[in-house]
Amino acid sequence: MGPNLLEIKQVDTPQQGPADVLIRVEACAVCSSDLSMMARPWKAQPPYGSFIPGHEYAGTVVALGETVDEFKVGDRVAVEAHLGCMRCRNCRLGHYTACLNYGKKGHRANGFTTNGGYAQYVINHVNTVYLIPDSVGFDEASLITNLGCVLYGFETTGGYIVGDHVAVIGPGPLGLISVEVAKALCAGRVYLVGTRASRLQVGEALGADRIIDATKEDPVQVILEETRGIGADLVIESSGGNEGPQMAIAMAKRMGKILLLGFPDEPVRADFSLLGKDNKHIYTVRGEGWANCGRAVSLLASGKVNLRPLVTHSFPLDSISDALKTFKERIGGAVKVVVKPTAN
C-alpha cells in the first residue's frame, strides 16, 4: 500500500496473543475511509508498505489464544475494528472508540492502526469478535461495523424513538442503514434526502416513508410542511456534504437532535444561532462504539434489518483495485463492494 497504490504481497500468517483469535477472512467490505487513507495517511497509520488496511470484515475462527474459551475453531464471526487500549480514562469508561492512547499502549484499530482484513488471515482481540448465526452470510456480516456505527449513533442520541419523525440526509451506505434502523426501532415517519434518484429508490425499498430529491424539492421546507411546522425529532446527516450540517440544523425541531454520521473534510458555515435559540443538540459518533456490533448481529439474525441489498458487487483479493474503483466511482450502481480473500 502506498499513496493511491495497493500491492498484494505474501506475508507470514500473524500469531495470535493469549487473548486473541486468528480469523480467516471470508469477506472484507470497502469503506470510503480506505480510499482516504490511501490518499493521505491518517493519524497513527503505519507506514505505507508495512500495513494492511480493511476494517469491515467477517470470517472463520482458525486458532485461539490460550485464554480464549468464548469461541472455538470453526466459528463464523464478525468483528469490530476498535479494541482501545483499555487503559486510558475513555476506555475505562466504555468509550473505547475514542481511546486517548490511539495507536499506542496496546490500542488497536484493525485496518487503521494495526493490520486489517484485506488479507487471508487477521488477528482480533476476543473483545472485538462476535459469533454470527448460519442465517447471516459473510458478505452481510462484513457490513456489521456499518450497522454497529449507525446503532451507536442511535444509542448516542438516546435510542428510544418510538413514533418520532426521523430525517436522514444522504443515501449512502450509512444513510440507507439509518433508514432501516429507524424503521426497525419504530420511528414514526422516516424521510430520506438525496440527489440521485436511483439511491433514493433503494432507500424507499428499504423503508423510507418519504424520499426527497433535493434537486427538485427544498428538503427543509418539505419536512417543515409535513410536520406542521415543527421539524424532525431526529436528523441524521450522513452525506458528508458541505451543506449537510446546516441543512440538518434547519430541519430539526425545537429541542431536536442532530446526529452526524458524515462530515465535510473542510470547515463549513453553520448557523449556531439557530441551533442555540431552538435548543437543538449535535451528536457525533466515532466508529462502532459501546459494543453495538453485538447488537448488530442480533438485529441481522432477527431479520429486522437486512444488509444484503447493499452488497452490490464482490471481487477476489487479487482484484482489489477493481473493487476500490467500482466502489469509488459507483460503477454499476455500486453501494457496498466486498473483497473475498479466501474464495476459491
Name which of residues 310 to 329 contact a copy of itself (CB under 8 A). Answer: none
What is the C-alpha end-to-end distance of the chain, expressed in Å?
A: 24
Select from 6-14, 57-65, 96-104, 135-143 the region that touches a copy of itself (CB under 8 A): 96-104
Among 32, 71, 105, 309, the residue binding a copy of itself under the rule CB under 8 A is 105
90 sits near a copy of itself (criterion: CB under 8 A): yes
CA distances from 127 to 20, 70, 108 (A): 8, 10, 11
Contacts of 298 by beta carbon, 8 Å cutoff, 6+ apart: none
- Residues 133-162 touching a copy of itself, rule: CB under 8 A, are 151, 154-156, 158-160, 162
Q: Tell me how far, at minimum, the Cβ of 216 lies from a copy of itself, in Å.
A: 25
Angle in degrees, CA 258, 261, 264, rounded to 5? 100
The three grid cell numbers given for residue 311, joined into one nine-digit string: 452488497
Q: In terms of Cα–Cα distance, which of 143, 208, 221 is closest to 171?
A: 208
Q: Which of 135, 221, 284, 321 binds a copy of itself (CB under 8 A)?
A: 284
106 binds a copy of itself (CB under 8 A): yes
Q: What amino acid occupies position 81? A: A
Q: Which stretch binds a copy of itself (CB under 8 A): 47-55, 132-140, 282-290, 332-340?
A: 282-290
Q: Which of 3, 47, 74, 93 binds a copy of itself (CB under 8 A)?
A: 93
Ranges within 227-266 binding a copy of itself (CB under 8 A): 230, 245-246, 253-255, 260, 262-266
Q: Which amino acid is at 274?
A: L
Contact 20, 126 (CB under 8 A): yes
What is the maximal distance between C-alpha atoms in the chain?
Answer: 62
User: Considering only residues 109-138, where is the footprint of a copy of itself by CB under 8 A?
Assistant: 126-127
Q: Interaction with a copy of itself in 21-40: which residues (CB under 8 A)?
A: none
Q: Tell me the closest approach of the beta carbon of residue 276 to a copy of itself, in angstroms.
A: 4
Cβ proximity to a copy of itself: between 147 and 317 the closer is 147
CA 279 from centre of chain: 28
Question: Grid coordinates standing for 275?
Answer: 441551533
Contacts of 253 (CB under 8 A, 6+ apart): 227, 230, 231, 232, 233, 278, 280
Residue 58 to residue 107: CA distance in whole angstroms: 21
Instruction: Provide, rounded to whole angstroms, the least separation between the CB of residue 173 and a copy of itself.
Output: 16
Residue 205 binds a copy of itself (CB under 8 A): no
Looking at the Cβ atoms of 194 and 262, the one nearer to a copy of itself is: 262
Site for a copy of itself in 287-306 (CB under 8 A): 289-292, 294-299, 302, 304
Residue-wise DSSP of 275-303: HHHTT-EEEE--SS-TTHHHHHHHHHHHT
Residue type, 63: A
Contact status: 268 vs a copy of itself (CB under 8 A): yes
Q: Which stretch binds a copy of itself (CB under 8 A): 45-53, 115-123, 178-186, 329-337?
A: 178-186
**Quick one: 250 or 339, whose CB is closer to a copy of itself?**
250
Using alpha carbons, list the distances in angstroms from residue 42 to 129, 162, 281: 24, 38, 28
Total site size for a copy of itself, rule CB under 8 A: 77
Task: Based on the shown chain and the rule CB under 8 A, indicate whether residue 184 belongs to the binding site for a copy of itself.
Answer: yes
